[in-house]
Structure 1
């Protein structure tokens, strides 16, 4: 791979690939090109961010190897068709989980800059992500790099990646992106790639120039207020560990076990759930799990085993909290006692080979919102890694952090905050 990783990725978005993708999506080819050029550094930034999370370097390495060995770099134009081998959907989901809450504003910014709608940009991620992973896999193979070596090399490209991000997006990944004006950002970051340097900035970007200085002033003002009044708050109660459970039932008409009740344990800061009397859950592959009748495993199994229950199109529905997963206080380190439930989740997924899940991390509202968002993502990914370690393919387990969003209980009491510190699971495919 060349030293300029951005150019290397963009070189794969040739005229032929752009035209083929344009036809597949029914979108103007110039908008497709602009969006792909903006996505190149965003995807690299997302991969870099994932690689720096707990267990992320191994995950990136594994997916990069898969992408490279699949030969997709020789058929980039087919990624959005039936010949794409499923990489398009995997690519979009990978970027979504890597960026977390920043995914939507990032793709909307690229949509505005390219003139394409945000739905098109999300689908184009299914082209950009596999290309990036394929190139990383090839680089690792050519240079005999392991997961750690590839992660270190990727980290060495941080300045180049962040410097190429479209205006305003660098801050999403912990760096400074963009120039002093939107026009400068477009020129520097690739809505017009070096190979099409004569292309002018899109009209939607030019029209937005007067708006950005006011936004920057607003953000600076908000930062000053935070510095003066919010920076000394504790990140999480020092006595607390993590997670919870409350019933987020999947389908109203389905016979799903009731959500367990529980109690707050002041000594550990955890919410301890009553998962019901022990019962045997017999999986289709013959595996028998002994779990509580109201446990997450029992509810997950019942949902997957009942053909009348379907995955809701509403992605806010169907979440179930993991009732025996906890972390060291203020960290993304799983306690030893948490491993059993995650092993059981993996066993259930093995018995239902078509199923896929998503893990969502949450915190209480103590501390800085941005730090809580990062912590929640780290914890969701730690749980994801534990499931994968037990034999589940990375493409079947997604993870995302939601920070202090969607509390299950009031944050005004220790008990409520304990319930809000949790990891949830949702079936995304049966």
Structure 2
């Protein structure tokens, strides 16, 4: 289902604007268009998830940054793309933090992978899409009221979600960097350890350490016993050979001596 807000924001990026961006970043215009298809609904959904109290400071910051916004003139091809994007990158850092919290880098990486562009180009797409979106939501800067923009976002939520590419759908899970959810995750491991003590690591460590010694010591004993047995066998053989030889020679000598006497 088409959405008027998404389409209106996309329409501001005509062929000439996209080509200028492509020249700036050294990317294919088709890849940049694909990136915009994902970035615009992603930014809109990040705004839509804010309650009025969270949305108010974002709108104040956007109004301060863009003033009386006319996106058509802002993205006019007569204005160098370098100037447009550099200004956005310099002035929107705090706005990105308000929009995405600590997830901004995650959003950039997802857009980068989805569109097949470099990280710098993915950031540029996000920076450039924000003023275009606020231009549409504020009616070219004529109405920045929180009530109006909040109602517009809520009324169009379903249509915005449907226009979000599947590859970027996970970005809508949490754009507020909810620390409470993160804090609730670590206790899971200790809880499992208490319920099932057999899975704790200490018994495994104690059990493994003796095994190495009990396996190695018998081997040493057996090897030393084998060498002693071999040595003892060699001694017996030598004694049998040389000992009996000596006895034989002694007997023959005694016989000769007896014969000589008689």
Fold in common (TM above 0.5): yes
**Residues of 2 paired with 1:79 and 1:92: CA distance?**
21
Give the corresponding residue for 2:59.
61
**Residues of 2 paired with 1:129 and 1:7: CA distance?**
14
- Residue 139 of structure 1 and its aligned partner are, at CA, apart by 6.3
Give the corresponding residue for 2:37.
37
**Residues of 1 paired with 2:159 and 2:141: CA distance?**
19
Alignment of structure 1 residues 104-143 onto 2, 5 Å? 104-138=105-139, 141=142
For residues 115-164 of structure 1, the C-alpha deviation after alignment (integer angstroms, 9 at most, x for no partner) is 212221012211111111122121673xx672122212211111111221
Give the corresponding residue for 1:367.
184
Q: For the Cα contact (< 8 Å) 2:68–2:140, is it kept in 1?
A: no
Give the corresponding residue for 2:88.
87
- Residue 93 of structure 1 and its aligned partner are, at CA, apart by 4.9
Q: TM-score, normalised by structure 1?
A: 0.37
Q: For the Cα contact (< 8 Å) 1:89–1:126, is it kept in 2?
A: no
**Residues of 2 paired with 1:60 and 1:111: CA distance?**
25
Q: For the Cα contact (< 8 Å) 2:45–2:161, is it kept in 1?
A: yes
Give the corresponding residue for 1:9.
9
**Residues of 2 paired with 1:56 and 1:112: CA distance?**
29
With over 3 angstroms needed to count, the CA separation of the structure-2 counterparts of 1:156 and 1:90, relative to structure 1, is farther
Q: For the Cα contact (< 8 Å) 2:67–2:141, is it kept in 1?
A: no
Give the corresponding residue for 1:23.
23
Greater relative CO (CA pairs within 8 A, separation 6+): 2
For residues 179-235 of structure 1, the C-alpha deviation after alignment (integer angstroms, 9 at most, x for no partner) is xxxxxxxxxxxxxxxxxxxxxxxxxxxxxxxxxxxxxxxxxxxxxxxxxxxxxxxxx
Q: Superposition RMSD on alpha carbons, in Å?
A: 3.3
After the TM superposition, which parts of structure 1 deviate over 6 Å for at least 4 consecutive aligned residues?
Answer: none
* Consecutive unaligned residues in structure 2, runs of 5 or more: 187-262
**Residues of 2 paired with 1:84 and 1:74: CA distance?**
14
Q: For the Cα contact (< 8 Å) 1:6–1:40, is it kept in 2?
A: yes
**Residues of 1 paired with 2:132 and 2:41: CA distance?**
12
Count of aligned pairs between the two proteins: 180
Give the corresponding residue for 2:164.
165
Q: For the Cα contact (< 8 Å) 2:43–2:130, is it kept in 1?
A: yes
Alignment of structure 1 residues 213-252 onto 2, 5 Å? none
Q: For the Cα contact (< 8 Å) 1:140–1:146, is it kept in 2?
A: no
Q: TM-score, normalised by structure 2?
A: 0.57
With over 3 angstroms needed to count, the CA separation of the structure-2 counterparts of 1:156 and 1:120, relative to structure 1, is same
Q: Which has the higher strand share?
A: 1
For residues 375-397 of structure 1, the C-alpha deviation after alignment (integer angstroms, 9 at most, x for no partner) is xxxxxxxxxxxxxxxxxxxxxxx
Q: Please identify the structure whose Cα radius of gyration is greater.
A: 2
Local SS of the residue matching 1:120: helix
**Residues of 1 paired with 2:129 and 2:80: CA distance?**
9
Give the corresponding residue for 2:151.
152
Q: Which has the higher helix share?
A: 2
- Residue 96 of structure 1 and its aligned partner are, at CA, apart by 4.6
**Residues of 1 paired with 2:129 and 2:23: CA distance?**
17
Q: For the Cα contact (< 8 Å) 1:92–1:122, is it kept in 2?
A: no
Q: For the Cα contact (< 8 Å) 2:68–2:141, is it kept in 1?
A: no
**Residues of 1 paired with 2:82 and 2:67: CA distance?**
19
With over 3 angstroms needed to count, the CA separation of the structure-2 counterparts of 1:91 and 1:45, relative to structure 1, is farther
- Residue 5 of structure 1 and its aligned partner are, at CA, apart by 0.9
With over 3 angstroms needed to count, the CA separation of the structure-2 counterparts of 1:129 and 1:79, relative to structure 1, is farther
